Structure 1
C-alpha cells in the first residue's frame, strides 16, 4: 500500500494532534514531534492511543466523510431499510444509488480506504513501540491488546468492502486487500481473502490474550476484552464459523446487560447507556463546522438535511414489528395521536419545530441529540443486543433451533414483553432472527455487510413510503433497485482507489476489481 503510507513523524503528529490532552501539545509543538517523543513514556503512548480512537470520528476531507460514523450511514444507505424521504441534498446518495463505489476515481471508493488504513497505521505504530517502553506490564498489555483489536477491525471493514465475500469450505483465494501490519513503507500487494482473515484472527487471538489480564479501560471509547470478543464474534459470523461466533458472542456479553425500554427511547446518543459496549464520545468542541453523524441522522437537530429529509424505515420492515414492541415507537405510524412524538428538527432559539420542517410517516426518532444547540453526540459502535443476535443466528444456522430460540429470547422479550419463545425451526427461525437484527440495528451501519455475508439479494421493492418532494427523480432508480446475490455479481465490491493503483508498485491495473 502506498497512497496512504504516512511517514512515522506525520503519523505521530496525527495521533498527538487528535489527542484530548492540550497540555501535551503545548509541551511538544507539532513541528518538533518525533517518534521517540510519543514513545518515551507510557503516558505519552496512551495519548497516541487516544489519537487513534479520535480518528474514528474526525472528518477526513468533506462533510460527508466524518470517519466511521459516515461509513455507518453509507453501509445502511446501500441496504433497503434506511430510507430517504427526499432528494434535496446529495450526501450519502452516491452509496444509495450503487454507482460511485464502482468507479475507482470517486471519493466514495477512496474514503473507506483512506479512513481504515489511516487508523490502522496509528495502531501499527503503537504496536511496534509499546514493548520498548518502561512501565507496568498489564498497562502495556492493555495498550497493545486494544491496538491489535483495532487493527483487526480495520482489516475486517476493508476486506468486506474491497474483497469478495468469504465462503466457508472453499479456498477463498479471491483477491482481498493489502495486509498492513507494519509502517515500514514497503508496498504490499492484495492478499487473498483467506490470508486477510487469517491475519485478522491472529490479531484478535493475541488481543484477547493480552486484554484478559489487562487493567480496566479508561472509558468505553477504548476496546476492552468484551469488545475484542465481540470483534471475534463478528469475524466468525462473516466466515460462517458458527460455533466460534456463538461462543464469542456469548462471552462478549457476559456480565453486561440490555438497556431498559425507557432508555430505548432516549435518543441513542449517550455512551453511558448500560448496553453500549464501545462507541465514540464526540464532544461539542470536536465536531466540524459542517457535518457529523448527527447532522445527517438526528431526528431533532436542525440541520437542513434533517429538517428537509427525515430518514424513514422501510414500510415493509415496519409492518413486521409487533405493536407491543418498544421499537415500534421509534418510527411514526402516521396517526395524529402519535404525531406529537415526532416534531422533527427543532429550532434551538424557540425550542419548537423548525420552519419548513418535514414530518412524514415512517420517519424515525431513534437518534436524537441531547442538546439541539449542538450536533455533537456519542456514536454507538457495538451494543450488547448485537451479541445476542449473533449468538442466536449462529446457533440457528448450525441447526440448533432450540438453543437459537433460547438465545434470542432475552433480547426479544426485553423489547416486547408480549414476545413468546419462538418455536420456529430451520429457515423460518433464521428469518425471524434476521428480522430482529434489521429492526434492532437500523441506522447502525450493518445492513450492507449483512446482505453480502449472507449472500442475499438487495430488494427495495414493495415499499409504500411517502416522499416529501414531487421531483425526487432518484427514487425511481434507488428505491426500485434490486441487486443479485453477491456470489453472482461484482457490484458488491468497491473498486480499489485509482491513486492506489497508480502509486503502489505491488498493485497494477490487472489487480483492480472487475
Structure 2
C-alpha cells in the first residue's frame, strides 16, 4: 500500500525542536509539568527514556496534552478549543459580526477539498491518533500497571480524535455501512475508508478499555485523563448514537465528577472551577496571546472578539432564557458604549459592546492578557445528558428531577418541569443550548437530532454578511470533504 505522506509529514512536523536538550538529563528535570512546555519532541522522549520507569511515557503523554492545548499555535488553529469554537460557529446559536478569523466556519465556506481549515481539522486529529498509536503499540498488555495507565490514556485520546472526525466528515445519522474515514493503525500507510460502523466500534472499544483500565487511577490534576473524563466521552458517544441507558449511566458518573457553581460570571477561565472535569492550565509561558480561545471569544479582553469581531448569541435563544436565570448575564442585554465596566473586577473596554455579545468567557484580569485556562468538559453538560437520556426512555419524573437539580442552581425561581414525552425532551434540548453555549456541542447536537441550519429565523443579533444561510440537516455542506492532500497521498480511496 502507498505510504500516507500527508500524515507522515505532518506527524514529523509535530515533533519540532523549539528548545534545546542535553543528552544527560536528571530525573528532577524530567518530572516537569507539561504545562510549562510548549512542545515535547521525539528526541526528548528518546533521551529521557534512559532515565527508566515511566519518564519517557510521561513525556509522550505530555506531548499529546500539549498539542491538544496548543494545536498549531496560529490564529485559528490553537488546539481543541479552536475546533470547538469553529464547530459552534456552524450552529444556529452563535454568530459573528464580520468575516475574519473563523469566518469560514460561520459561513460554511471551508468544507471543500482544499481549504486550510479543513486541512487543519484533518491533520490535527490524525496527529493525535498517530501519537496515541505510538504509545498503544509499544506497551504490551502485560506491562506493569503504572505503565498500562499511559496506554489507557492513549486509548482515550485516540477515541476522542475519531469521535470528532466521524462527526465532522460524515453525517451523524448515516447508516453504519456508509463509507467514512480511514482508520490509522500506526504504520503511516494510507488505509481505505472504514465504514461508519467500524469507526464507531473502534471508538467504543477504546473508551471501554480506557474506562475499565483507569477506574481506580487517581490523577494528579484535572489536566490528566482519568475515568471521569472517559465516562464523559462515553456519555457523549451513547447520547449521539441513541444508546439511552448507557448514556444515562455514564452521564451520571461524569456529572458527579464536579459540583455546580453558584457563580456564573467567573469567565470559565479557571480549571479549578468546581464544574470543570478536564482541561488545560494556561500560563504566561504557554499562552498563545492572540492565537487563543479567549482572544476570539471574550469581548472584554483586548483580542479579536474585543476589537470588533463580536461573537453573539442568537437573539431567539436569548429570549428563551428566563429573566430570573443567572445565565442571562452571559450575554449583553443592550448595546454598551466604550469604557463601560460590564463585569465587576474587569476593565472598561475601549470598544462598544453590541446587544447579545458574549460575556460568558473572560480571561482575567484585563487588557492585553489572555491567561485563561481551557476547560474541555464541565459536569453541567452531563446533568443535561442524563436528563435527556432518561426522558428518551420515558423516565419523565427522573428526568424532571435531574433538570431541576441543575436549573435551580442557575435560576432560584425555576419550578420543576411538568412536561412529559417530547415536550420534556424539547425543554431539555433548549437548556442544553443555553447552558452549553460556546462549549463546542451545538452543531453536533444539531447533527444528532436532525436539525438543519436556519439563520433566516428573524434573529436580531449581528450576523456576518453571507452567513444568513439555510442548509438542510443532511445537506452536503453540513459535513466536510476529506482534504485533497489526503486524497492525493492515499491511493486506497477517492474523495
Does 2:233 correspond to 1:244? Answer: no
Matches within 5 A, 1:18-417: 23-24=29-30, 32-33=43-44, 35=46, 38=49, 41-60=53-72, 62-84=74-96, 86-87=97-98, 89-101=99-111, 103-131=112-140, 137-166=144-173, 172-180=176-184, 182-214=185-217, 216-254=218-256, 256-260=258-262, 262=263, 264-288=264-288, 290-334=290-334, 342=342, 351-354=347-350, 357-372=351-366, 373-417=368-412
Give, in angstroms, the shift of residue 5 of structure 1. 2.8
Q: Is the 8 A contact 2:314 2:461 kept in 1?
A: no
Give, in angstroms, the shift of residue 100 of structure 1. 1.6
SS in 1 for 2:100: coil
Match of 1:485? 473
Sort the Cα spacing of 1:410 and 1:7 in 2 relative to 1 into closer, same or farther, 3 A. Answer: same
Give, in angstroms, the shift of residue 421 of structure 1. 1.1
Give, in angstroms, the shift of residue 252 of structure 1. 2.1
Count matched residues: 478
SS in 2 for 1:83: strand
SS in 2 for 1:57: helix
TM-score, scaled to structure 1: 0.86
The equivalent position to 1:6 in structure 2, one of 5, 8, 33, is 8
Give, in angstroms, the shift of residue 144 of structure 1. 1.7
Q: Is the 8 A contact 1:12 1:34 kept in 2?
A: no
Match of 1:495? 481
Q: Is the 8 A contact 2:290 2:304 kept in 1?
A: no
TM-score, scaled to structure 2: 0.89
Sort the Cα spacing of 1:211 and 1:8 in 2 relative to 1 into closer, same or farther, 3 A. Answer: farther
Sort the Cα spacing of 1:389 and 1:132 in 2 relative to 1 into closer, same or farther, 3 A. Answer: closer
Give, in angstroms, the shift of residue 22 of structure 1. 10
SS in 1 for 2:412: coil
Q: Which runs of 5+ in 2 are unaligned?
A: 22-26, 33-39
In structure 1, distance between residues paired with 2:16 and 2:399: 45
SS in 1 for 2:451: coil
Q: Is the 8 A contact 2:297 2:358 kept in 1?
A: no
Q: Which runs of 5+ in 1 are unaligned?
A: none
In structure 1, distance between residues paired with 2:335 and 2:291: 32
